[in-house]
Structure 1
Amino acid sequence: MPLSIQRLLSRTLLSLGLLLLVSPCLFGQDGTAHLGSFVGKWLTSSKQGVVEIYDCGGTLCGRVVGLKHNRDANGTPWHDEYNPDPEARNRPVCGSLVFRNLQWNDQRATWAGRLYDAENGKEYEGRLTIERPGEMHLRGSLIHFSWLSETVVWTLYRGELGADCEMRESNALRSSN
């Protein structure tokens, strides 16, 4: 094979390889370009908890970082008592994952995956969308029952959180009521 054809072929293969390497970024196969408005601390619709949403490798993860009341009457931190996994029931609610590896869906412009609710120990199919800046809609349905769904609204949390996971009463919390 003549040297010029070999160079052309080698450059073409190199270009194709680079295109395949960067194409997920160009065509939105992962949600990295859509992380910004979702990442942060969010006050739940019940105003009883704060969930921190963060980037976990191009997908979204969320964990409990604040609770209005983190302890029972005896001063013991709340545990994940309704978890279907008996070994996880002794785990504190604060710091626990409520979702992980949510995937970006270009067609629906939403993050989707499984969500966990520590209040009842159930897992839901869920979608997160931003309707307005600082307002996230979370739509969840029992797995395999998408027609039985509910949408709740979370708002960006601007209050303070104590080292003990307690939400501090603040103007940000009072104004969001």
Structure 2
Amino acid sequence: MTMRLAAAATLTAALATISTPALAADSIAGRWVTAEKDAVVSIGKCGESTCGRIAKFLVPPPDGVDQRDINNPDPRLQTRKLLGLPVLFKFTEDRDLWRGRIYDPKSGKDYRSVVRRKNADTLEVKGCIGPFCQTQFWRRAR
């Protein structure tokens, strides 16, 4: 009798685990105004991952809309236009958030990044070096 109860309890626990949905990250797709309000970043699928590209300048860069990636340490990449440049890349869903890399064209550096949708109109965007992170909030573009 106890063997049957143990088997029934195990089966019940297994079924409960299967039927419980895993936490899924809210989609970060869309158009977002950066914290500095100088650009709109369009986030969507890029092959197997998610990326975000500079879609529009709200404040023109020093060399105008044709500004190149002059701060990039790789000379081969310094001729890329900033407009259309991926600043979020290799993002994958990880439970209730998104993990990937963020590129800062002003410094020419990229960082480990975590993005989470706080609500329908706000993204929490973190750029991290080791255990230290800087957080920004991006707002949905209208």
Pairwise same-fold verdict (TM > 0.5): yes
Of 134, 144, 163, the residue aligned with 2:121 is 134
Moved more, 52-61 or 90-99: 52-61
Of 132, 151, 156, the residue aligned with 2:135 is 151
Q: Which amino acid aligns with 2:138?
A: W
TM value normalised by structure 1 = 0.62
Mapped contact 1:83–1:89 kept (Cα < 8 A): yes
SS in 1 for 2:76: helix
The question of 1:90 aligning with 2:118 is answered: no
Structure 1 residues 148-172: Cα deviation after superposition (integer angstroms, max 9, x where no partner): 21100000001xxxxxxxxxxxxxx
Higher relative contact order (CA 8 A, sep 6+): 2
* Structure holding more helix per residue: 1
Q: Which amino acid aligns with 2:106?
A: E
Structure 1 residues 7-32: Cα deviation after superposition (integer angstroms, max 9, x where no partner): xxxxxxxxxxxxxxxxxxx868xxxx
TM-align CA RMSD: 2.2
Aligned to 2:101: 114
* Structure holding more strand per residue: 2
The question of 1:103 aligning with 2:87 is answered: no
Of 39, 42, 48, the residue aligned with 1:49 is 39
TM value normalised by structure 2 = 0.76
> Which structure 2 segments of 5+ residues have no match?
1-20
> Which structure 1 segments of 5+ residues have no match?
1-25, 159-177
- Report the Cα offset of residue 34 of structure 1: 4.4
SS in 2 for 1:90: coil
Mapped contact 2:65–2:83 kept (Cα < 8 A): no
Identity %: 28
Aligned length: 122
Q: Which amino acid aligns with 2:68?
A: H
Could you tell me how far apart the structure 2 residues matched to 1:62 and 1:86 are?
23
Mapped contact 1:115–1:126 kept (Cα < 8 A): yes
Mapped contact 2:25–2:97 kept (Cα < 8 A): no
